[in-house]
Amino acid sequence: MCGRYASARKKHELLEEFQVELDGVPDQELPPDYNVAPTKQIYAVMSRVPKVDGESLSDRPVRQLQIVRWGLVPAWAKDPSIGSRLINARVETVADKPAFRRAFAARRCLLPADGYYEWMPVEGKKKQPYFIHPADGGMLAMAGLYEFWKDPERADDDPLKWLCTCTVITTTAEDEVGHIHDRMPMTIERDRWAEWLDPRTEDPAGLLVAAGPDRLRAHPVSTAVNNVRNNGPELLEPLDGDPEKTEALF
């Protein structure tokens, strides 16, 4: 699974990197987060037809940056608590599973990440956390889905009436990635971003790929990351303090 990751870029960097046309949250900016955990607020890139008071402002989907909560809450859910159990969607079942199939068909997004954490079993019951990241220092565009949930207990004019949530699509981790953890996030290559985000794309499954064989590196990090209250750039540092001793994953 993918249960923790780092997303520390500033908003203006994301707007530029993902060629965003519309800043959907102009009055908000999330702080750098080196220990993103489920139920946190995160950035998501999506393509939607912008609306004001229910009226469309465009005749086409516009790429925009939004803030969503990690942990997908399906529209049919009785309450949002289910989201904490739906932080990941397995690629093998995402098109068919009731919680995800409607979002997979038309509500796909990109979740920017500097890298993600996985825990590898070591001696006894201990687990060693690793930070897995692009070898070139760039960003991962993790494949995600988003959904809207309407709170039946809030008034229609309540700004908290609608909750937007997301999930990360995962796949089997093969080769050397698998020795750390058997699952990894799916990513979307840059030249396929537009198709993935377009709600009109009819075969999104064909756009999903695992990270290429030369893209990822990993290094062990401090167990301080185990506690979600710990949050700072030191969490990304190699355990031995030598950034040159990172391990190629392929």
Active-site residues: which are they? 2, 118
In Å, how far from its chain's centre is CA 84?
Answer: 14
3-class DSSP string for the chain? CCCCEEECCCHHHHHHHCCCCEECCCCCCCCCEEEECCCCEEEEEEEECCEECCEECCCCCEEEEEEEEECCCCCCCCCHHHHHHCCEEECCCCCCCCCCHHHHHHCEEEEEECEEEEEEECCCCCEEEEEEEECCCCCEEEEEEEEEEECCCCCCCCCCCEEEEEEEEEEECCHHHHHCCCEEECECCHHHHHHHHCCCCCCHHHHCECCCCCCEEEEECCHHHHCCCCCCHHHHCCCCCCHHHCEECC
Q: Answer whether 164's CB lies under 8 Å from 190's CB.
A: no
